[in-house]
């Protein structure tokens, strides 16, 4: 990890700690309204009528069941918090460059996700770019945020795609600049076609001494004539700076993650029960049904979608770590490994459970290995607190896992004292035991796993065991160990790091043998 990255994380922590009082400089009108940039296209009666319609996402007015205050953009996330996130980003980039020895003006451009198509005219379900959503709260496709920093002044602008009768007919009306300023709390908002005029004004104001921060400049280039020649070619990505902010969740974000975790956890309860009921009726259970049930339960309880293609792998298929076909029959004597989570107002949950398809642990090998993994996972969660790193958690897991396998007689005696637990563990659990979680499942990926945890972070704890008697496992397995061949188990919870330890967000998801068997009890005749 470079010293710049360390400094970033320190800035991120400072900014998020004082989020509610983050220094937001008053926005003087260094970019005065100018001709053409007044949203005049929106001033026709038809467009005015359309702009009164929904913003295309739930608001206090349209969905009072989700919100308690008109200033909330997502439940518990107020307009002011979004503004403060943008202000922190501006503040950090200007600090970084000052430290590098020269003071310049900054232009930060964050585009929304474009619409993507799976085939001719058929769109994929739309998912907003997490960084754009984090800084704006908006689900508008093809919009972009432009943050200008000149000296100590900041100006937050949102650009929205132009109204177009044809696309409005197919996709519905778009958010107007006026509605965007009012709802999202930007200083100003314009149509994308007005971007070049805006840039001319900014270039003049700054004598073109500008450092550009932009991850994907294609959207900007669409609206800016190439002859404009602004410094987009040498733009630096703001990703690491935004990650340093997103790493530490605010109380409002933690509440959304708690809700996301609860919806997913309860979906697992219902899914376990469905399996038991289908089994009792003598019906064959297909992995596809488990997927469908989880998806249904999450959506019906308010989640936007599953957070990723789930893994529903029964029997030996659980050894395929990213198995996503989910189309095979579950044998009633097997266990099924399910890795699924949902997205709630942009915040993800990520859970894995492994349970007996029929609802009860009837196979001693399954049960003994499950109990060992459960102990490994719950003991590991106890280690989560400020100061420890994800890599250190992996080291501890390695020791627990090898000791557990040795106690069960699966690996040769003395393995846990051989001094190479990590190397042995990697042969049985080839993935890491944790990642950061937030608006993305693998959140804030630019932050290394060697960083000490701090209050406000959310991480997963997910030890797994995959017994394949593969060539790299054979050297360590005993004769007993070979009987376990084909079994795979992973248990994963989402854990919020608090000032004095941790809090498990996914606690409602059945995990103990007793809870799993309770939810695996038949409820219908």
Q: With residue 477 as reference, give the H or E element that holds it.
A: none
| Nearest by Cα to 357 from 421, 418, 312 | 312
- Closer to Mn ion at the Cβ: 415 or 460? 460
Given a contact cutoff of 8 angstroms between Cβ atoms, the answer to whether 132 and 110 are in contact is: yes
Structure tokens, 342: 């949902």
- Closer to Mn ion at the Cβ: 334 or 350? 350
Find the shortest distance in angstroms from Cβ 350 to Mn ion: 4
Contact status: 494 vs Mn ion (CB under 5 A): no
Find the shortest distance in angstroms from Cβ 164 to Mn ion: 40
x/- binding map, residues 338-357, to Mn ion, per CB under 5 A? ------------x-------
* Residues of the chain by 3-state class (helix, strand, coil), percent to 5: 40, 20, 40
Residue nearest to Mn ion (CB): 350
Find the shortest distance in angstroms from Cβ 352 to Mn ion: 7
Q: Within 13 A of 105's CA, how many CA atoms are on the CB side?
A: 19
| Nearest by Cα to 503 from 255, 205, 204, 241 | 255
Stretch that binds Mn ion, among 219-227, 253-261, 360-368, 453-461 (CB under 5 A): 453-461
- Closer to Mn ion at the Cβ: 388 or 441? 441
Which residues neighbour 116 within 8 Å (Cβ) at sequence distance 6 or greater?
123, 124
Find the shortest distance in angstroms from Cβ 279 to Mn ion: 28
CA distance 206 to 440: 36
Find the shortest distance in angstroms from Cβ 479 to Mn ion: 34
Residues touching Mn ion: how many (CB under 5 A)? 2
- Subset of residues 303 to 342 that bind Mn ion, contact rule: CB under 5 A: none
- Closer to Mn ion at the Cβ: 127 or 432? 432
Find the shortest distance in angstroms from Cβ 494 to Mn ion: 9
Which residues neighbour 496 within 8 Å (Cβ) at sequence distance 6 or greater?
249, 254, 257, 258, 457, 458, 502, 503, 504, 505
Q: Which of 460, 466, 494, 496 forms a contact with Mn ion (CB under 5 A)? A: 460
Find the shortest distance in angstroms from Cβ 259 to Mn ion: 18
- Report the Cα 68 to chain-centroid distance in Å: 24
Find the shortest distance in angstroms from Cβ 343 to Mn ion: 14
- Closer to Mn ion at the Cβ: 436 or 484? 436
- Closer to Mn ion at the Cβ: 468 or 490? 490
| Nearest by Cα to 93 from 237, 205, 221, 202 | 237
- Closer to Mn ion at the Cβ: 343 or 350? 350
How far CA 401 is from CA of 258, 311, 337, 368, 369, in Å, comes to 29, 23, 19, 13, 11
The binding site for Mn ion (CB under 5 A) comprises 350, 460
């Amino acid at each position: 990890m470079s010293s710049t990255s360390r400094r970033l994380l320190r800035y991120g922590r400072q900014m998020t700690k004082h989020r509610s009082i983050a220094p937001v400089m008053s926005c003087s009108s260094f970019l005065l309204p100018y001709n053409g940039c007044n949203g005049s296209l929106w001033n026709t009666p038809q467009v005015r009528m359309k702009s009164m319609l929904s913003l295309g996402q739930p608001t206090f007015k349209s969905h009072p069941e989700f919100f308690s205050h008109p200033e909330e953009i997502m439940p518990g996330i107020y307009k002011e918090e979004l503004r403060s996130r943008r202000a922190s980003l501006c503040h950090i980039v200007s600090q970084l460059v000052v430290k590098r020895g020269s003071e310049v003006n900054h232009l930060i451009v964050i585009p929304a996700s474009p619409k993507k198509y799976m085939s001719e005219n058929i769109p994929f379900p739309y998912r907003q770019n997490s960084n754009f959503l984090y800084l704006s709260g908006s689900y508008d496709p093809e919009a972009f945020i432009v943050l200008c920093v000149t000296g100590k002044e900041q100006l937050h602008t949102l650009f929205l795609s132009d109204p177009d009768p044809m696309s409005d007919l197919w996709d519905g009306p778009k958010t107007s600049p006026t509605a965007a300023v009012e709802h999202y709390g930007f200083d100003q908002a314009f149509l994308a076609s007005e971007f070049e005029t805006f840039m001319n004004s900014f270039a003049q104001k700054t004598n073109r001494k500008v450092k550009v921060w932009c991850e994907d400049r294609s959207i900007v280039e669409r609206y800016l004539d190439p002859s404009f020649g602004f410094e987009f070619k040498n733009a630096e990505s703001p990703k690491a700076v935004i990650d340093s902010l997103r790493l530490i969740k605010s109380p409002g974000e933690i509440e959304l993650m708690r809700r996301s975790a609860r919806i997913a956890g309860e979906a697992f309860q219902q899914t376990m029960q469905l399996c038991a009921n289908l089994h009792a009726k003598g019906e064959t259970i297909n992995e596809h049904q488990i997927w469908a049930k989880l998806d249904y339960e999450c959506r019906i309880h308010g989640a936007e979608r599953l957070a990723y293609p789930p893994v529903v792998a029964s029997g030996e298929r659980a050894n395929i770590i990213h198995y996503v076909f989910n189309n095979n029959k579950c044998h009633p004597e097997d266990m099924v490994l399910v890795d699924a989570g949902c997205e709630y107002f942009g915040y993800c949950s990520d859970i894995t459970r492994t349970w007996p398809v029929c609802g009860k642990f009837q196979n001693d090998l399954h049960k003994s290995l499950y109990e060992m993994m459960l102990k490994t996972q719950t003991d590991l969660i106890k280690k989560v607190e400020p100061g420890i790193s994800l890599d250190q958690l992996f080291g501890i897991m390695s020791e627990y896992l090898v000791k557990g396998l040795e106690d069960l007689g699966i690996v040769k005696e003395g393995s846990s004292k051989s001094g190479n637990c990590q190397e042995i563990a990697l042969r049985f659990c080839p993935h890491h035991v944790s990642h950061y979680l937030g608006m993305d499942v693998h959140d804030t990926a630019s932050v290394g796993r060697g960083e000490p945890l701090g209050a406000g972070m959310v991480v997963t704890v997910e030890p797994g065991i995959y017994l394949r008697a593969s060539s790299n496992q054979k050297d360590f397995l005993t004769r007993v160990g070979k009987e376990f061949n084909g079994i795979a188990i992973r248990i994963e919870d989402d854990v919020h790091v608090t000032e004095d330890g941790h809090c498990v967000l996914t606690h409602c998801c059945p995990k103990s043998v007793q809870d799993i068997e309770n939810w695996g009890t038949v409820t219908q005749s």
